[in-house]
């Protein structure tokens, strides 16, 4: 897979991230979906990364993209996967974020919310990269379907080494429903969140199936 890396300073505002012409399309959509212009201007990226519960939708999108953060402390700089940031949050200062940009990447996103401007109750992001019609890399990330702000589903590994198809999508959704552990609250019961996790994951993967590489 041919890829480059998009890197952004952690002190940049979310609006500046959105305005960057190299910002990945999936991340742009996540920022536009639920965050107002005012909030994007007032919030820097490092705060959003450290406040993943307040920015669960954004966190899920970055996890789906395989984001990596650079942390600086007395010993110098080191790179940490975003999904490991919570464990290393006291280690030092987040100075930048990078996202690999794979040319063969296709992505999909689907969410449900009370109103278009609300934080999603449940959201699903899918990223799939293929070569010669066979999936080489796949990530599925959900928000609102686990005790934490965002959850990386192991079920995505079932797509590897196979063509992406309606049949493989159904198998992965079935595996995901065995894996998901939603927590109900006033916005949605456990049963509702579980059902939506399956429905939204299917839609996100179908977006990957029917989109062309590089679709915006």
Q: What is the pLDDT of residue 84?
A: 83
**Per-residue CA distances from 179 to 151, 173, 176, 192, 194 (Å):** 11, 10, 5, 15, 10
Of the candidates 131, 146, 178, 2, the one whose C-alpha atom is nearest the C-alpha of residue 63 is: 146
Q: What is the mean pLDDT of residues 26-31?
A: 92
Q: What is the pLDDT of residue 1?
A: 42
Percent pLDDT > 90 in the chain is 69
Q: What is the mean pLDDT of residues 65-75?
A: 89
Q: What is the pLDDT of residue 86?
A: 63
Q: What is the mean pLDDT of residues 21-28?
A: 93
Per-residue pLDDT tens digits for 35-55: 788 999 999 999 998 888 888
Q: What is the mean pLDDT of residues 120-130?
A: 95
Q: What is the pLDDT of residue 118?
A: 78
pTM above 0.85, yes or no: yes
3-class SS letters over the chain? CCEEEEEEECCCEHHHHHHCCCCCHHHHHHHHHHCCHHHHHHCEHHHHHHCCCCCHHHHHHHHHCCCEEEEEECCEEEEEEHHHCCCCCCCCEEEEEEEEEECCEEEEEEEECCCCCCCCCEEEEEEEEEECCEEEEEEEEEECCCCCCEEECHHHHHHCCCCCCHHHHHHHHHHHHHHCCCCCECCECHHHHHHHHHHHHHHHHHHHHHCCCCCC
């Amino acid at each position: 897979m041919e890829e480059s890396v998009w890197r952004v300073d952690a002190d940049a505002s979310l609006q500046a991230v959105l305005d960057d012409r190299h910002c990945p399309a999936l991340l742009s959509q996540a920022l536009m979906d639920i965050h107002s212009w005012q909030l994007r201007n007032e919030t820097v990226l490092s705060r959003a990364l450290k406040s993943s519960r307040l920015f669960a939708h954004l966190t899920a999108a970055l996890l789906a993209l395989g984001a990596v953060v650079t942390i600086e402390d007395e010993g110098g700089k080191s790179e940490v996967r975003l999904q490991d940031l919570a464990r290393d949050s006291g280690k030092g200062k987040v100075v930048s974020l990078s996202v690999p940009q794979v040319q063969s990447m296709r992505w999909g996103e689907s969410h449900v919310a009370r109103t278009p401007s609300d934080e999603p109750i449940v959201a699903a992001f899918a990223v799939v990269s293929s070569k010669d019609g066979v999936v080489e890399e796949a990530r599925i990330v959900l928000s609102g379907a686990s005790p934490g702000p965002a959850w990386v589903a192991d079920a995505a590994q079932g797509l590897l080494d196979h063509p992406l198809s309606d049949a493989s999508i159904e198998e992965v959704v079935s595996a995901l429903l065995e894996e998901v552990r939603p927590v109900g609250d006033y916005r949605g019961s456990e049963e509702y969140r579980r059902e939506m996790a399956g429905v939204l994951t299917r839609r996100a993967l179908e977006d990957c199936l029917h989109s062309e590489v590089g679709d915006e």
